[in-house]
Amino acid sequence: MNVLALLLVLFSWAGQKKTAPTPPTAKAAAPNYAGHYVLEDAHEMGSELLLKPNGDFEYMLAYGAADYTAIGKWKAAGDSVVLDSKLPDGPGFKLVRSSDLRSPDVRIWVKSRIGKPVGDLEVVLTGPEGESTGHTDRDGMALFPGTSQPKSVVIKVPVYDKDSGPVQLNASHTDFTFEINPEAITTVPFKGEVLKASAGTLEMFFWDKTKPMVYRRQ
């Protein structure tokens, strides 16, 4: 075979050779954050977070005499988890009735939705002479002797650092009954709360913006 014929054969093979297709780039699987997480290395505190596969979450935290809870929706956002709580309906305290007992004293009652008295609450009553502070007893009543023409009241839950805010009162009445909504007091109001995910842990900054609470997946 002469040189010209050899070159023609080589060019023919080169034309028939096809470049192997480039394999598609493998897409990284989205991280699966669903699971049960428990707070670690916390002093006198217990807390758990359950991320359900259907996008619901349940949360609890116990610290001293206070027990907090939350339920709602969660979603993955890159290397983070985002929580949004379902907030309870209604305020923490609601004035349900008042009346004039023609008494020289003002009485503030606090009861649960089923009528159970709620004690150990701080009550600040404002009248013409300024503020007076009392506490609900085991019957759920705070008594303010010799008080008339009440203007407003604030009911405080010290253990949760929550209060009703000022509630305007009928100045001609002396007896007031409030209903407490415990869910509004104890629910943690997560709103777009971002938890950083890393190596089976979630870091929460809701309670302390300078130091994360670390939850480890079980």
Asked if the model's pLDDT at residue 5 lies above 90, the reply is no
Mean pLDDT within 75-102 = 95
Length of the chain equals 218
Q: How many domains are contained in the chain?
A: 2
Q: Whose CA is closest to 98, among 163, 166, 179?
A: 179
Angle at 137 between CA 136 and CA 139, to 5 degrees: 105
Whether 191 is covered by a domain: the verdict is yes
Q: What is the pLDDT of residue 148?
A: 87
Q: What is the pLDDT of residue 31?
A: 77
Whether 20 is covered by a domain: the verdict is no
Separation between Cα atoms, residue 64 and residue 159, nearest integer Å: 9
Q: Which domain holds residue 100?
A: 93-182
Residues 127 and 55 reside in one and the same domain: no
Residues 100 and 75 reside in one and the same domain: no
Separation between Cα atoms, residue 38 and residue 62, nearest integer Å: 12
Tell me which of 14-23, 60-69, 72-81 is least confident. Answer: 14-23
Whether 27 is covered by a domain: the verdict is no
Whether 8 is covered by a domain: the verdict is no
Q: What is the CATH number of the domain that holds 112?
A: 2.60.40.10
Q: What is the CATH number of the domain that holds 54?
A: 2.40.128.640
Residues 127 and 174 reside in one and the same domain: yes
Whether 169 is covered by a domain: the verdict is yes
Separation between Cα atoms, residue 181 and residue 158, nearest integer Å: 15
Whether 19 is covered by a domain: the verdict is no
Per-residue pLDDT of 117-168, as tens digits, reads 999 999 999 999 899 999 999 999 999 999 989 999 999 999 999 999 999 9
Per-residue pLDDT of 21-50, as tens digits, reads 555 554 555 679 999 999 999 888 999 999
Residues 112 and 127 reside in one and the same domain: yes
Residues 129 and 156 reside in one and the same domain: yes
> Do residues 68 and 143 touch, judged by C-beta distance below 8 A?
no
Residues 55 and 113 reside in one and the same domain: no
Residues 45 and 65 reside in one and the same domain: yes
Residues 80 and 127 reside in one and the same domain: no
Whether 21 is covered by a domain: the verdict is no
Separation between Cα atoms, residue 207 and residue 202, nearest integer Å: 14
Separation between Cα atoms, residue 117 and residue 103, nearest integer Å: 22
